[in-house]
Amino acid sequence: MKIALGQFAVRPDWQDNAAICLDLIARADAGGARLLVLPEGILARDIADPDLVRRAAQPLDGPFMTRMLEATRDRALTLVMTVHVPADQGKVWNIQVALRGGRIVAQYRKLHLYDAFSMQESVNVVPGDEVPPLLEVDGLRFGMMTCYDLRFPELARRLAVDGADALLVPAAWVKGPLKEHHWEVLATARALDNTCYVVAVGECGPRNIGASMVVDPLGVAIARAAEQDALLYAELDPRRLAQARQALPVLANRRFARPELA
C-alpha cells in the first residue's frame, strides 16, 4: 500500500494553508498514494502569536474543511490531518480527522495536551476523553494519535491490542535540545513496542522540526524527510507486518491487560 506524507510549514492565514493542502492532495493522488497524512494544527500558526490557533479555529463544516472534503470527493485517497475546532468557554478541540469520498470517516480529539517544556497547550485546547477509533484503508487498520501522544506508550499499546497495523501521528514537534532525538527514539519505540508501522508527520518551519518519517514494525526507518517542505512516499507491506509479528510476538507474549483510559 502506497502512502504519502505531506510536510510543510503552516502559515498564519488558513487560505494559504488550504492552497498548500490542495496541492499536496493532487500530487499525492497523482503519485498513486492511497493515504495522505498531513501535520498537526494546519489551519493556522504563528510563532509570535500562540493564541492564533484559538482565534483561527473553524467548525468541521467551515470553509477550510469544505474545501478538503470537496478535494477528496472524486479521489481514491484517504486524507488525515488535525485541525482546531471551536469548543466551549472560548477554547478549541485539537481534532484529527480522516476524509474519504467527500465525507469525514473518522475523528479523534487529542487526549494528551502538550503542557511540557515550558509550553501550555491546555491554555487554548480542551483534551479529548475517548480512545481513538481505528481507521481502515485498503485492508490495513490505522490507529490515530497526535503529536505529544507519542510519549504515552499506553495509547499506542491500546490501539495495537484493538487491532491497529499502523499508527498515524500528525505532529507539530517543537524544536529544542534533544527534541529531534526524542522524536526519532519515540517513533521507533512505538513501532517496536507494538510491531506496527508508525507514520509520523511533522510540521516544519521556524518553530517545529519537520523530520517526518515512517518506521516499519521492526524499527527500521523506511522513509525520512529533513527540515523543509516535502512530499514523501512509503510502502506499507502486510507481509512485513506478519513477518515482524511472527519473529517478535510481543503482543501475544504480553502479560498486562489492555490499557484503559483513566
Q: Which of the residues are catalytic?
A: 40, 110, 147
Instruction: Please choose, from the candidates 91, 73, 93, 74, the residue with its C-alpha nearest in 3D space to the C-alpha of residue 83.
Output: 93
Residue 244 near residue 218, CB atoms below 8 Å:
yes
d(CA 75, CA 196): 27
Write the DSSP string, the chain. Answer: -EEEEEE-PPPSSHHHHHHHHHHHHHHHHHTT-SEEE--S--S---TT-TTHHHHT---TTSHHHHHHHHHHTTSS-EEEEEEEEE-STT-EEEEEEEEETTEEEEEEE-SS----TT--GGGTEEPP-SPPPEEEETTEEEEE--GGGGG-HHHHHHHHHHT-SEEEEEE--B--TTHHHHHHHHHHHHHHHHT-EEEEEE--SSSB----EEE-TTS-EEEE--SS-EEEEEE--HHHHHHHHHHS-HHHH--SPPP---
